[in-house]
């Protein structure tokens, strides 16, 4: 079984770009990844494309071959849909394909165009990642669903909104130098606590924004990288995926995320690593409570301890375990179909040393990314390592 190297990464600016199409956005990211990798287009053997809302937001199904056309690549192309974990799954399947020896070069990533819709239409579209029969018909939205999870966490483990406000502040600080981030504005704990309430206890500044954007990574086998003398020091050494009941009422509890636990256990075992080996992390912080849940599901903290990590300074840029140095979904943005690929791209940049926040992790050799779908009914975890 061959190893898998990240030969190149590409990102668009994240933010409001309603005048651009999804095909335009993905082409920009994919061509940037291709150019950085130095891999000729003719060598691409597959495209794995993540997208969640394209059929609703752009009335465009069957997007994968369209994206291959836009990139100028003649190869099989497949769309992966796993709600907000769509690109994470697309990358995972690319890793499995390259490892198996079936392909030596795979382009993986994703895209979402959302700001061309009204807020109400975006909310309705995102809600389709919940259970239509038992949740959507009852009027559930994702702020409402995560509010239920946050309340359950507070009741079971303690903590408060001020703990979570420190997560938002930290991630906005991390986004300041990131040229791809949607927000380049520092915020304070007081601003988070005083922001308008979206779904009690979740306020506006506890939530990630609506975002347009695309991501792409070129993955190659060790043999291909060596044969073509590619500069590709970062490898994906571990990959895992986990699942849980789709509807919240079917779960044993709302204060933990078993899908993350299962994905993490598989990824750690696959890489031959443990949580203590990880130097830097990108997690799926669609809401501030989601970062706390992720840190505990990934086994960096015991249950009930992750919520206070940012407040204690442990997960800040200068802490012992920097989390979301990209700015996370909270401040970098969350174009849902692109997020998992964006996390891989950002972690690659951090480990290579060419990310604006790499200065905080100069000695890092092991990174981890965590991408979740819906209310964490799906989770994908990857372990990345760099040659030093």
The answer to whether 277 and 364 are in contact (CB under 8 A) is no
- Exactly one of 84, 111, 208, 286 is catalytic; which is it? 84
- Exactly one of 166, 172, 284, 334 is catalytic; which is it? 334
Token representation of residue 52: 């969640």
Verify whether residue 370 is a known catalytic residue: no
Verify whether residue 111 is a known catalytic residue: no
The answer to whether 193 and 203 are in contact (CB under 8 A) is yes
Cα 344 from Cα 351, distance rounded (Å): 11
- If we measure between CA atoms, which residue out of 14, 30, 309 comes closest to residue 175? 14
Cβ neighbourhood burial of 276 (10 Å; 0-12, 13-18, 19+):
exposed
Token representation of residue 339: 């997020």
Cα 67 from Cα 294, distance rounded (Å): 32
> SS3 of 28, please?
helix
Cα 47 from Cα 34, distance rounded (Å): 12
> SS3 of 366, please?
strand
Sequence-ordered alpha helix ranges (H) in 158-281: 161-175, 189-194, 222-227, 258-271
| Angle at alpha carbon of residue 106, lines to 382 and 30, rounded to 5° | 90
Which residues have a catalytic role annotated?
84, 334
């Amino acid at each position: 079984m061959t190893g898998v190297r990240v030969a190149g990464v590409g990102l668009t600016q994240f933010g409001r770009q309603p005048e651009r199409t999804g095909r335009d956005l993905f082409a920009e990211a994919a061509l940037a990844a291709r150019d950085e990798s130095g891999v000729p287009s003719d060598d691409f053997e597959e495209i794995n494309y993540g997208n969640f809302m394209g059929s609703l937001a752009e009335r465009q199904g069957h997007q994968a071959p369209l994206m291959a056309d836009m990139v100028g690549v003649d190869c099989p192309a497949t769309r992966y849909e796993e709600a907000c974990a769509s690109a994470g799954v697309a990358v995972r399947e690319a890793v499995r394909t390259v490892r198996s020896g079936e392909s030596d070069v795979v382009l993986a990533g994703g895209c979402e165009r959302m700001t061309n819709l009204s807020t109400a239409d975006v909310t309705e579209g995102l809600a389709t990642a919940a259970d239509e029969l038992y949740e959507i018909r009852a009027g559930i939205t994702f702020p409402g669903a995560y509010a239920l999870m946050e309340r359950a966490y507070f009741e079971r483990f303690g903590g408060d909104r001020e703990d979570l406000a420190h997560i938002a502040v930290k991630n906005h600080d991390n986004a300041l130098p990131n040229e791809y981030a949607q927000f380049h504005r520092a915020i304070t704990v007081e601003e988070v606590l005083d922001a308008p309430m979206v779904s009690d206890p979740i306020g506006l500044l506890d939530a990630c924004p609506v975002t347009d954007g695309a991501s792409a990574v070129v993955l190659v086998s060790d043999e291909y990288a060596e044969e073509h003398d590619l500069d590709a020091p970062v490898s994906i050494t571990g990959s895992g995926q986990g699942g849980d009941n789709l509807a919240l009422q079917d779960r044993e509890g709302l204060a933990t995320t078993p899908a993350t636990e299962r994905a993490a256990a598989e990824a750690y075992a696959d890489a031959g690593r443990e949580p203590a080996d990880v130097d830097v992390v990108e997690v799926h912080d669609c809401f501030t409570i989601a970062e706390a849940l992720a840190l505990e599901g990934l086994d960096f903290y015991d249950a009930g301890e992750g919520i206070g990590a940012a407040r204690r300074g442990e997960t800040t840029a200068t802490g012992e375990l920097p989390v979301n140095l990209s700015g996370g979904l909270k401040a970098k943005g969350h174009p849902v179909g692109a997020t998992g690929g964006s996390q891989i791209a950002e972690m690659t940049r951090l480990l290579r040393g060419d990310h604006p926040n790499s200065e905080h992790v100069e000695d890092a050799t092991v990174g981890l990314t965590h991408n979740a779908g819906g209310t964490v009914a799906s989770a994908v975890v990857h372990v990345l390592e760099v040659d030093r």
